[in-house]
Amino acid sequence: MSIGAGIFFIAFGAILAFAVRAQPDWLRVDVVGWVFILTGITILAITLSLWSKRRRSATVSERQVLENGRQTTTERRVYHETDVPPEV
């Protein structure tokens, strides 16, 4: 699921909730529309949350610096998209 799927569910739900006037006896179309809207909002929230976590882990890298076979410090470097990390 992605941002496109979330937007699709929201749009389809809005059409069902606000534009469709047909009401069969066995189904409330406006309630189904609201369920689709809430599903789309949930998909968008999960997708954006996962993207922000992935972006943070891609831009901040931690690596352990070893000296004489033991850990001495943890080095944290932040690289921007335009920066090139130095050769190790």
DSSP string, 8-62: HHHHHHHIIIII-----TT--HHHHHHHHHHHHHHHHHHHHHHHHHHHHHHHEEE
Single-letter amino acid code for the residue at 59: T
Q: What is the average per-residue pLDDT within 58-64?
A: 47
Q: What is the pLDDT of residue 9?
A: 97
**Residue range 6-55, pLDDT digits in tens:** 999 999 999 999 999 988 999 999 999 999 999 999 999 999 988 877 66
Q: What is the pLDDT of residue 64?
A: 45
CA-based nearest residue to 62, from 79, 84, 50: 79
Q: What is the pLDDT of residue 66?
A: 47
Domain boundaries, the chain: 3-78
Cα distance between residue 23 and residue 7, in whole Å: 25
pLDDT at 59 over 70: no
Three-state secondary-structure class, residue 5: helix
Single-letter amino acid code for the residue at 70: R
Q: pTM for the full model?
A: 0.61
